[in-house]
Structure 1
Amino acid sequence: MRKIRINWKKLLVLFATVFLVIQVIGSFFFYELAIKRGPKEFLQNNADLEVSDQAMELFVNGDWIDWVNAQSFEQLTLTSRDGLQLSGYYLPAAKPTDKVVILTHGYLGNAKQMGLFGQYYHNDLGYNIFMPDARGHGKSAGNYYGFGWPDRLDLIDWTEALVKKLGKDTKVAYHGLSMGAATVLMASGEELPRQVKAIIADSPYASVYQLFAYQMNRMFYLPAFPLLDSTSGLTKIRAGYSFREASALKAVKKTKVPILYIHGESDTFVPTKLTKDLYRHTASDAELFLVPKANHGESFVLAQDEYKMKLDDFLGRYID
C-alpha cells in the first residue's frame, strides 16, 4: 500500500492564501455595509434600534417638524480641509444673543433632524442654532461615513466660521446625538476655539473600533479580530481614518471643556457602559445623566422635562 505524503508547505500556503482572500472579500463587504455612503438595509428591523411608541410618535409626527419647516434657515457652506463641500443650516435667535449651539446628528441622519433639540434651544433658551450635515450625509459631499473622526475637524472649522460670522465674543455649545455625540467628544481632545464653553453628548460611543466589535458580535456572531482590523485598514486607505484612532475615549482624557453625558439605561445599540467609561475618564468637569428604560437616542422623549432641566442647569453654569 502506497503511503500518502502531505506537502505541509504547500498546504500552509494554500490555507494562507484562502485566509487572505476571505479577509480581502470580507473587508470590502463590511466597508460597503457600514462605511460607504448609501442606504443601509441591514439596520432595517434591527431590534436594537426599536424605540417606544411615544418616541416614534414624536420622531415622526412631532410639532418640531412643522417648526423646522416654518423656519427661514440660512444655508451655509464650508470647504473641508480635504476639499469636500459641506453644508449646514443657521437660524438666528429671535432676540440678539452671543450664544450659539451647534447640533450634530447621528449616523444616516441629516442636519434638520436635530430640530428636535433645536426648537428648544431656539425658542426656550434663546440661542442661535446651527445644524450641519456631516460629510456623507444630507447635502454635504463625501462618499463615506466618518463616524465622527474626520467630522471632528469639520466641526472645528464650522465653529471658527461661526465665530467669524457672529463675533469673537460668541459663546459656543456643542450638542451631539449618537455619531454626533462621538463627533463632539472626538473634537473635545483637539485645540478648540476658546469660544467653545460646553459639550452635551447624548448616546455616544467610546471608539469606532469598540462600537463595531460589539455590533459584529451582536449582528453577525463574529469576533472582531482579524476581520475588523482588515476592514479598518481598508477604511484607512479609502476614507483616511482607521477604527482604532477614531477614539472619543482618548480625546476626553485630555479635554478642557465641561461635558454633560446623557444615555438611556436600556440602550442595546450603543451600550450604556460606553458612556460610563467616557464619564470616568473625562479630564474636565463632567456630569452623567442616565434615563431609565430609554433605548438608543430616545432619552429626550422619555424624560423630556428632566432632560431640559439638566440642559438648563449645565449650560447656565458654563455659558453666562
Structure 2
Amino acid sequence: MVERESKVKTKANTKKKLLIAAGVVVVALAAALIFISNYLVNYAIGRSGNGGDREVALEVDAPADSVEAVMEDNRAAYKSKIDTFTKEHPGRDVTLTADDGLTLHGVYYANAETADTHRWALVLHGYRGDYTGALQLAAPYYEAGYQVIAPDLRACGESEGDYVGMGWLDRKDVLQWIDYIIEQDPEAKIVVHGISMGAATTMMTAGESTPDNVKAFVEDCGYTSVWDIFSSELQLRFGLPEFPILYTASGVARLRAGYSFTEASALVQVAHCEKPMLFIHGTADDFIPYEMMDTLYNAKPGDNKAELTAEGAGHGEAMYALGDSYWDTVFDFIAPYMA
C-alpha cells in the first residue's frame, strides 16, 4: 500500500515537473519571439534601424550589357542634371504639422516664370531616404514648368518621427502637403509621383479622398503591401518564414508605431483609386518584384491607367534604362489631366 502511494506521488511529481518545464519553455519561447519581433520592428521601421543596409537580392535576369551601358550613361547625366538644378534652384525649406503633431519638413522649388500654369508636382523619395532622393523627379518637373514640393517623409531627413511610415502613415502626411499646396495656390493642379516607398505612399494616398486639385498619380516600383515586402525580405535576409515572427512583429508595430504590416496595403488602396495612375517598374528589380506592377495595375479600377515597363532596369532604375522615353511617357500620360 505504501509502495503504491509512493509510486503515485512519484508520477504526480514527475507530471508536475514536466508541466513546469513545459511552462518554462513556453515562456522562454514567447519571450524570444517578443524579443525578435521588437528587433525586427527596430530594424525595419525604427528611425535608427539599419534595414536599409541590404546585401541580398531576389534572383532576376541580369540586364544586357547594352542596357547596363545606357543606364550608366543616364545615371551620370541625371547626376549632372541634379547638381545643376540644386545649384541654380536651392529651394526653400518649409514645414507643416502632421495630424499626430509631428513637424514635417520639405523643400519648395518655386517656379515664378510658370506660376500662372498652376501645375504642381509632389515628389516622394524611397525607403530611409530624404527629399534629395526625389530630386531626379523634381528637376524634370521643374524644367517642365511645375512648382515642386519634395518632402522628407516622416522619420526621414529633417522630419520628425520615431518610425518609418512605409507609406501608410505617410499617406495622411501627403494629404497635409496637398492642403499646403492648395493654400499657396487654390487653382493648383497636382500630380503625385513617388519612387519605391514613395511609390507605395503615392498609391496609399490615391486610395483616400483627395481634393479635386489632385489630378494624377505616378508610381515607380512600389510594393503591393508592407506585409508582402517584409515577408520577402525576412526570407531573403534571415532565411525565416513569415510565421510566426512577422505576425507578432506586425502586432508589435501596431502597438509601437501605430500601424500593422497587414493594414498597410497599397493593393487595397489602389482598388479605391478613381483618379488616373501610371504604373512603372523595371523587369530586373531585385527588391520589389516586377510582377507586383501587374497586380497593382489590375487592382486599379477604370481605364484611366497605364503601365510602363523598363526592360533590364533594377530597383528605381527605370528612368536610367528608359532615358527620355521615361519622361515622355510620364508627361504624355498626365497632360490631359493637367491642362
Calculate the TM-score normalised by the size of structure 1: 0.92
Shift of the alpha carbon at 1:126? 1.1
CA distance in 2, matches of 1:62, 1:26: 43
Aligned to 2:305: 286
Shift of the alpha carbon at 1:28? 1.4
Structure 1 residue 34 corresponds to structure 2 residue 44: yes
Shift of the alpha carbon at 1:46? 4.2
Give aligned-pair identity as a percent.
30
Aligned to 1:262: 280
Aligned to 2:33: 23
CA distance in 2, matches of 1:233, 1:145: 16
CA distance in 1, matches of 2:251, 2:49: 23
After superposition, what is the alpha-carbon deviation per residue over 1:159-200, rounded to whole angstroms, capped at 9, x for unaligned? 011101112x21100000000000010011111111111000
Query: 2:127 is paired with a residue of what secondary structure?
Result: coil
CA distance in 2, matches of 1:41, 1:227: 16
Structure showing greater Rg: 2
Kept in 1, the 8 Å contact 2:95–2:106? The answer is yes
CA distance in 2, matches of 1:42, 1:8: 44
Aligned to 1:172: 190
Relative to structure 1, is the Cα distance of residues 60 and 20 closer, same or farther in structure 2, using a 3 angstrom cutoff?
farther
Query: 1:206 is paired with a residue of what secondary structure?
Result: coil
Equivalent of residue 226 in structure 1, options 228, 236, 244? 244
Query: 1:244 is paired with a residue of what secondary structure?
Result: coil
- Number of residue pairs aligned between Structure 1 and Structure 2: 317
Q: Which amino acid aligns with 2:126?
A: G
Relative to structure 1, is the Cα distance of residues 187 and 233 closer, same or farther in structure 2, using a 3 angstrom cutoff?
same
Calculate the TM-score normalised by the size of structure 2: 0.87
Alignment of 1:194-273 (within 5 A): 194-273=212-291
CA distance in 1, matches of 2:130, 2:80: 17
Shift of the alpha carbon at 1:41? 6.7
CA distance in 1, matches of 2:74, 2:49: 20
CA distance in 1, matches of 2:279, 2:310: 11
Structure 1 residue 69 corresponds to structure 2 residue 87: yes
Query: 2:114 is paired with a residue of what secondary structure?
Result: coil
Higher helix share: 2
Q: Which amino acid aligns with 2:193?
A: H
Alignment of 1:120-135 (within 5 A): 120-123=140-143, 125-135=144-154
Relative to structure 1, is the Cα distance of residues 69 and 232 closer, same or farther in structure 2, using a 3 angstrom cutoff?
farther
Aligned to 2:335: 316
Unaligned runs of 5+ in 2: 1-6
Equivalent of residue 19 in structure 2, options 9, 33, 43? 9
Q: Which amino acid aligns with 1:15?
A: V
Kept in 2, the 8 Å contact 1:100–1:128? The answer is yes
Query: 1:139 is paired with a residue of what secondary structure?
Result: coil
Unaligned runs of 5+ in 1: none
Relative to structure 1, is the Cα distance of residues 54 and 242 closer, same or farther in structure 2, using a 3 angstrom cutoff?
same
CA distance in 2, matches of 1:139, 1:221: 34
After superposition, what is the alpha-carbon deviation per residue over 1:42-95, rounded to whole angstroms, capped at 9, x for unaligned? 625445699957179439943312312331312111000000000111112232
